Amino acid sequence: MLGCRAARRAALTDEFDAVSRSSLGIDGGVGAESEVSAITHLYAGIPVADLNVSIAWYTRFFGRGPDFRAGDEILWEIAPAATLFIEPNAERAGTGRITLSVTGLDVLLEAFGVRRIDHEPIETYSNGVRHVWIPDPDGNEIAFAEPPDTA
């Protein structure tokens, strides 16, 4: 029996192989229409070394427990069409990298401070985007970026 992650990957691979790159809009760039498929949800995974340590940290990070568990994957719904999951994978732990666009970065960072979540210094890019890294216990890089028009 395939695990949840393996089954999901197999289904996505089969679906991708069933259509051409151009019909998915890959060759046409952003906004190209697809005749066959549309992305409806994002699942982003972070590999962790110790699942229990990471569940505790991500529970503090999100300010709430996970929404559900699928096998060894622990999942938090972070937006209406976006889910972040952690999964035990000691070999790849610390290699994850994800950036989330937000509004109210300062308020968010204050809330992290209350929950004992440390962050790197805030950087402001030449285009006005404010960006900050928050490393998890394994060193996976979770970042928040705030566009200049929302600061």
Q: How far apart, in whole angstroms, are the C-alpha atoms of residue 141 and residue 99?
A: 8
For the ranges 33-37, 77-81, 98-102, 147-151, the lowest mean pLDDT is seen at 33-37
Overall average pLDDT of the 99-127 stretch: 95
Pick the closest to residue 103 from 132, 136, 144, 68 (CA basis): 144
Q: In which band, very low, low, confident or very high, does the pLDDT at 149 lie, cut at 50, 70 and 90?
A: confident
Tokens linked to 98: 């994800």
Mean pLDDT of the chain: 84
Q: How confident is the model at residue 104 (pLDDT cuts 50, 70, 90)?
A: very high
Pair type for strands 82-88 and 42-48? parallel
pLDDT of residue 3: 52
Q: What is the pLDDT of residue 37?
A: 83
Percent of the residues in the chain that have a pLDDT greater than 70, as a whole number: 75
Give pTM, 2 decimals. Answer: 0.74
Residue 123, pLDDT score: 97
